[in-house]
Structure 1
Amino acid sequence: MDFSLTYQKTGQPIIGYADWGSCTIDRRSYSGHCFIFSGSAISWSAKKQSCVSLSTAEAEHAAITEATKEALHLRNLAVDLHMDQQKIKIFSDNQAAQCIAKNLVSSRSKHIDIKLHFIRDVIERRDIDYISTQEMTADILTKPLAKPRHFVLLQKLGLTSSSREKEC
């Protein structure tokens, strides 16, 4: 209740972060993504994936797919608002998932559902880039975190505390 989103003119384009987390109970993964614009989050999601992934790369690929769908929506919204937003860069911390998305992996990824491969159709128009795990803002949506890391990521989402608490 003590946090709010604070927007400021930055001149930076919309950027996204896609990540995944696992559930030890039913082994289905969580997809998480967030998009930042004007210094704060404008869109975010964390939800359980509909099937069990057979690898970390597959779970991350599913998270990138969900983020890509949201990026397409946000890009269309930006066009409708007459913003100069040619593309939205999505950051991922899993290089194997990026290889699957770019179709650089063959026999090991044949089992991945066709609907997850729709991002191949938009990969030419989108940048999906690697980012280190330490820089992954979407971790806050998919993983339990230590208190200091949690508050760092809140700040990266643009959430600011309206009270002076002793968080960190």
Structure 2
Amino acid sequence: MSHPGPASVERVVDSPLKAQFEAFIDQHRAALHDCLDGLTGEQARRSLVASRTTLLGLVKHAAFVERVWFDEAVTGRSRAEIGIPGTPDESFALTEEDSIDAVRRDYREACEASREATAHLDLDDVLPGNRRGPLPLRWVYLHVLRELAQHCGHADILREQVLDGAAPAPPTTRRAAGR
């Protein structure tokens, strides 16, 4: 009887810890996506700080983050091959085509691609394509979670400023933390 080769064996990854990481990452992904709820295009693009950071730019940047950590790091493809900016700062730059719907759609697609790219990986699997060198998926999950949490906080503050304090910010940070 022949034994199937490695290419034909489907690897099943079932780690409760991995599922916890993914649940927290998904909560923060949703919070960033939802920070644009009820805003006009002008409000989403409003610049209130010296950097390029806007609410729409944060969500666009989050799609870049997904592609850096779950495409570039997993596959080793270059940023040019992936079709993303070369630097994080560039990922905040908005074009005329960057509507709320378009940026949200791109972010959802990037998140889904990230889930697919890591579905077959264990937390200790090493991702070869990061510029810092090979890193375990566990490190990448923690880094992405930290970055998304930071940007959720930025979004809460920017949203409150955009709405001139007239309406409270959506509970992105509270929802992400499960409170």
Would the TM-score normalized by the shorter structure come out above 0.5? no
Q: TM-score, normalised by structure 1?
A: 0.29
